[in-house]
Amino acid sequence: MTKPDQHSLHALGIETSCDETAAAVVEMTPAGGRIVSNVVLSQIAEHSAFGGVVPEIAARAHVEALDGVIAAALAEAGVELRDLDLIAATAGPGLIGGLIVGLMTGKALAAASGLPLVPVNHLEAHALTARLTDGAAFPYLLLLVSGGHTQVVLVRGVGSYERWATTIDDALGEAFDKTAKLLGLPYPGGPAVEAAAARGDVSRFNLPRPLRGEARPDFSFSGLKTAVRQAANQLAPVSQTDIDDICASFQRAIVDTLTERVGRSLARFRAEFPDIASPTLVVAGGVAANEAIRSGLEKLCAEHGMRIVAPPAALCSDNGAMIAWAGLERMRAGLVGDNAQSFAPRPRWPLDEDAAPLVGHGKRGAKA
C-alpha cells in the first residue's frame, strides 16, 4: 500500500468476544470510512452440536485461529503493521476467554509495533457501524438486536450513550435460538426460524404480544418462547408443516411486539429532537438480518417520519471492521488514553453505565 496521506487513518480491528474470530483493516478519511479488508471465521460448526456457544470451545478456537485471521486481514489489505495508525481490539462485553485472547493479542501487536491500542466496547462498535456504512450523523437512535442484547439507545456522540429501553428477560436473538432449539431446528436459530416462517401460516397460532400497550418502552420475549413450547407440546410429534406454522406465527408476533415497543422510543426521539434534519433509526446486531423484522421496522419508521439505516447483514453481525472503525472514531474524538496496556477485559460492560439494571437483564451476558 502507498503510505496514506496525512488525512487518512488506518486501523486493524480484532474481534473475539463470542463465536466469530475476526480481523479487519479500515480506513478513515475526513469524508468517511472504507473497509479495506474484513476476515470473519465463524465457529458455528464447532458449537452447533451443542445447540449454542460453549465458552471453552470458543476460547480455544480463538487461540488457534486468531493469528491466521489477522495475517489474512493484513495480507488482503496489502499492508503491514507499520502502515497502520492504531490497533483496536474488543475488550468487552462478551465471553471472558475470547476477550482475553483478542485483547492480549492486540496488546502484544501494539507493544511490538509501537502503535496505540484502543480497547473497544463491542456494543459501541455495533452502535457506530452505521457511520462507517452510511455516514449517519449524531444524534440518532439505535436499535441493537443480537443474541445477547435487545436495546434502544440514544447515540449522542462517540462515547455518549443513553439507554432508553432494554429487555426484561431474553434477548431477541436468544428467543429465536431457543425457539429453534425446542423445534429441533439447527443453531443459530434465527436464520432457520426465518426460513421455516417463509413457508408457514402466520395466523395458525395466536401467540402473545408481551408488554403490548404498556407505557414503558422495554421488551420481553420469554413468554413468547414459553407459548411456543406449549403449542409444540400439544401437537407432539410436530410435523414439518407444524414447525413452519409455529415459526411463521412466532415471527409475526415478534414483528408486532417489536414494532409496537420500538414505536414508543421513536415517538420520544421525535419529541426530544424536533428540529434535526434527518431523524434516523439505526438497526444493528445479528437479528437485523431478518427480512420480516427489517420491513416491519421500515414501515414503522415511515409512520414516524424517520429514516432507517440497517447496515448490510454481514456488518450487522460480529466482525472486525466495526471494531477497527470504533477505534478510529475514538481516536478522532480524542478518547484514546495511554493506559491501554493495563486495560482489563470486561465481560460485562454496558454502553450506558448510568442505566439501572432491569430484572433479569444481562443474565446471560455472553453475546452482544
- Residues within the interface to ligand KG4 (CB under 6 A): 18, 146-148, 173, 176-177, 188-191, 194, 285-287, 289-290, 317-318, 367-368
Instruction: Give min distance, CB of 332 to ligand KG4, in A.
Output: 25
Residue 289 touches which of Zn ion, ligand KG4, none (Cβ within 5-8 Å per kind): ligand KG4
Sign of CA dihedral 144, 127, 132, 115: negative
Residue 190 touches which of ligand KG4, Zn ion, none (Cβ within 5-8 Å per kind): ligand KG4
Q: Would you list the DSSP string of 62-115? A: HHHHHHHHHHHHHHHHT--GGG-SEEEEEEESS-HHHHHHHHHHHHHHHHHHT-
Instruction: Give min distance, CB of 337 to Zn ion, in A.
Output: 24
Q: Determine, following the binding rule CB under 5 A, whether residue 152 of this chain makes contact with Zn ion.
A: no
Residue 177 touches which of Zn ion, ligand KG4, none (Cβ within 5-8 Å per kind): ligand KG4
Cα–Cα distance for residue pair 147/139, rounded to 1 Å: 25
Cα–Cα distance for residue pair 279/267, rounded to 1 Å: 11
Instruction: Give min distance, CB of 339 to ligand KG4, in A.
Output: 27
Q: Judged by CB, which is closer to Zn ion: 27, or 318?
A: 318
Q: Judged by CB, which is closer to Zn ion: 229, or 346?
A: 346
Binding residue for Zn ion, selected from 318, 321, 324, 326, defined by CB under 5 A: 318
Residue nearest to Zn ion (CB): 368
Residue 200 touches which of Zn ion, ligand KG4, none (Cβ within 5-8 Å per kind): none
Residue 340 touches which of Zn ion, ligand KG4, none (Cβ within 5-8 Å per kind): none
Cα–Cα distance for residue pair 213/257, rounded to 1 Å: 9
Instruction: Give min distance, CB of 126 to Zn ion, in A.
Output: 6
C-alpha separations of 247 from 208, 224, 288 in Å: 14, 11, 17
Residue 147 touches which of Zn ion, ligand KG4, none (Cβ within 5-8 Å per kind): ligand KG4
Q: Determine, following the binding rule CB under 5 A, whether residue 153 of this chain makes contact with Zn ion.
A: no
Cell of 66: 486468531
β-pair type (117-121, 86-92):
parallel
Strands (DSSP E) contained in the chain are: 9-15, 20-29, 32-42, 86-92, 117-121, 140-145, 150-157, 160-166, 280-284, 307-309
Residue 148 touches which of ligand KG4, Zn ion, none (Cβ within 5-8 Å per kind): ligand KG4
Cell of 15: 474481534
Q: Judged by CB, which is closer to ligand KG4: 164, or 176?
A: 176
Measured at the CA of 165, the angle between CA 160 and CA 167, to 5 degrees, comes to: 125
Instruction: Give min distance, CB of 304 to ligand KG4, in A.
Output: 23
Q: Determine, following the binding rule CB under 5 A, whether residue 245 of this chain makes contact with Zn ion.
A: no
Instruction: Give min distance, CB of 20 to ligand KG4, in A.
Output: 7
Which one of the spans 96-104, 209-217, 227-235, 360-368 is the region binding Zn ion (CB under 5 A)? 360-368
Instruction: Give min distance, CB of 116 to ligand KG4, in A.
Output: 26
Structure letter (DSSP) for residue 331: H
Contact 340, 119 (CB under 8 A): yes
| Helix or strand run (H / E) with residue 328 | helix 320-332
Query: 92 — alpha (psi -120 to 50), left (phi > 0) or beta?
Result: left
Q: Determine, following the binding rule CB under 5 A, whether residue 368 of this chain makes contact with Zn ion.
A: yes
Distance spanning both ends of the chain, measured CA to CA: 34
Q: Determine, following the binding rule CB under 5 A, whether residue 158 of this chain makes contact with Zn ion.
A: no
Instruction: Give min distance, CB of 305 to ligand KG4, in A.
Output: 27
